[in-house]
């Protein structure tokens, strides 16, 4: 008994076989050698993540020059928050303060990232304000010293 095979079936099979072959060849060259060593991850990424330089100087490096800020922060609710949390990495600034400037956040959105109303945050742990009602049109630092926010500016 002979089966009839439509002429498009061999052509489709050939196209499908070429597609699978091309896929496997490309996969061989594009998938890193260490992929799959630790599950569905690239094992070499662990090494890659240790290579970037650390640019944080640490809070004590800030206080060497900014003793006045240390004194203010020690009396405030922000005392446990390190300088570089708000001001960004400061290693270059510590090395050469005349050349490297640090981030000086002023916008409402920046302070709001911690202090905006958020039902997921404990109100007893983080003072929260409604950014859409509280001093609209003003930046927080116009009224508050970020190193001692309860002390209102005059």
List, for residues 101-129, the tens digit of each pLDDT value.
788 887 788 888 888 888 887 777 778 88
Q: Is the separation of the CB atoms in 82 and 59 below 8 Å?
A: yes
pLDDT tens-digit readout, 3-41: 888 989 999 999 999 999 999 999 999 999 899 888 888
Report if pTM > 0.75.
no
Distance CA 68, CA 58 (A): 17
Distance CA 112, CA 127 (A): 10
Distance CA 66, CA 97 (A): 12
């Amino acid at each position: 008994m002979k089966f009839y095979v439509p002429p498009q079936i061999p052509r489709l099979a050939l196209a499908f076989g070429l597609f699978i072959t091309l896929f496997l060849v490309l996969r061989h060259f594009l998938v890193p050698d260490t992929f799959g060593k630790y599950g569905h991850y690239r094992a070499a990424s662990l090494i890659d993540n240790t290579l970037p330089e650390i640019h944080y100087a640490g809070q004590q490096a800030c206080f060497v020059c900014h003793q006045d800020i240390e004194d203010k922060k020690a009396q405030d609710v922000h005392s446990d928050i390190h300088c570089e949390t708000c001001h960004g990495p400061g290693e270059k600034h510590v090395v050469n303060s005349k050349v490297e400037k640090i981030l000086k956040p002023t916008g409402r959105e920046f302070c709001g990232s911690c202090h905006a109303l958020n039902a997921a945050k404990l109100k007893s742990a983080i003072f929260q304000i409604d950014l859409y009602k509280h001093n609209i049109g003003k930046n927080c630092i116009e009224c508050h010293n970020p190193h001692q926010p309860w002390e209102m500016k005059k």
